[in-house]
Amino acid sequence: MPPMAKFVISEPAEAILASLTEALDLVSFGIVLLSQDMRVRFVNRRYAEMWQRPFDMLVAGTSFRALLRHAAAESLYEMPASELPAYLEQRAAAIQAGAIPPTDIDLRDGRRLLFRCIPCADGGRILTYVDITRLKEVEELQQQDRSAAERLIVEQRFSTETLESQAAYLASLAESADENARRAEEAKQQLEQEIAERRQLEAQLRHMATTDGLTGALNHAQFLLAGQLELERMRQQDQPLALLMLDIDHFKLINDQYGHLTGDEALKHFVVQLRTGMRAIDLLGRLGGEEFAIVLPAIPGEAARQVAERLRARVAATPLLLDGQTIGITVSIGLAMARDADGMLEQMLARADARLYAAKNSGRNRVVSIDMAAAAQPLACVG
């Protein structure tokens, strides 16, 4: 565990503790502090909302096993009732031991939570629960998009192979007689033209299945697929990898003031500005609406931050000029670097998204590359 931050105490301890408690109640993820004997020392309101339990019932001294039993009694877990006792016992024992990797928890209402257990120096535990339901939905959409693209490609390949077989047959007939050869040649040329058109259509379908039709950036599913492959490639080569989450500031105001057609032009203009500051190996994807992401392979943290700042500055300095109007655009950016524990690109996306949210909350038109709440975690260990 990193050394604890030092503070100059200028307020009563009760006031500081009240301020910390209020701050922890405002974060977007659930937090539980356990004592050495696995009893509750503190929970925040987000945890109570996630697990559908009245906040005033979560009193200090409640055992962690009681929290698990409540979730089981409310049928919150997505698993057969016969498997719950063994699952809860295994989870309680693992947290007691302190050695448990980040784990996904699927709930019956369709939510998915990312669970982490952090051992404290005093023998207690910090438990965090982050709602990653959106990532679960992205995985399902990715699979649907991939299946649809594969079906289109197979159908086009079958049609192409059929036409090629017919062309070969007609070519053989051309050798039997001059007249037949002339007719076969005409038919062969027509079929070859159809084959070329089919292949062109196949290429267009493949492009449509992998890119965003408005901006030309990779679509959501293809970006996740390509980004995951890049993450695995960088890990094999022992190279760093960075991920940027970008969101156009006040984009709704552009749509409301100038109309959605101007909003579309703003998105295309925005992507053009991003591409001017990217390398050929970088991946740009549109995740939805005005939200984009960039994967930067083989780049250290400081260089990645400089790239993000350069992109932010270029967007701010290059307004959209349309029909005599000058429309200023700015962007907020969250930056995350790959960690050894990152098995999936979605884990990096979650961190970058949290930092993008921090950039929005701290004034927009800026880059955030660290967790704004990271300094509060060591304090939680001391209760």
Give the active site residues. Answer: 290
Terminal-residue alpha carbon distance, the chain? 16
Q: Is 255 exposed, middle or buried (0-12, 13-18, 19+ CB in 10 A)?
A: middle
DSSP string, 46-107: HHHHHTT--GGG--TT-BHHHHHHHHHHTT-BSS-GGGHHHHHHHHHHHHHHT----EEEEB
From the list 333, 315, 332, the residue with the least C-alpha distance to 243 is 333
Identify the bridge partners of residue 293 per DSSP, sorted by sequence position.
Answer: 245, 285
65 phi, psi to nearest 5 deg: -65, -30
CA distance 88 to 136: 23
Measured from the Cβ of residue 128, the count of other Cβ atoms closer than 10 Å reads 21
Does an H or E element contain 245, and which?
Answer: strand 241-248
Instruction: Enter the tokens of residue 253.
Output: 């105001």
Residue burial 130-164, b: 16+ Cβ < 10 Å; e: rest:
bbbeebbebeeebeebbeebeebeeebeeebeebe
Count of all residues that appear for the chain in the document: 383
Instruction: Enter the tokens of residue 321.
Output: 């000029």
Instruction: Enter the tokens of residue 168.
Output: 């070969």
From the list 102, 198, 219, the residue with the least C-alpha distance to 156 is 198
Does an H or E element contain 34, and which?
Answer: strand 30-34
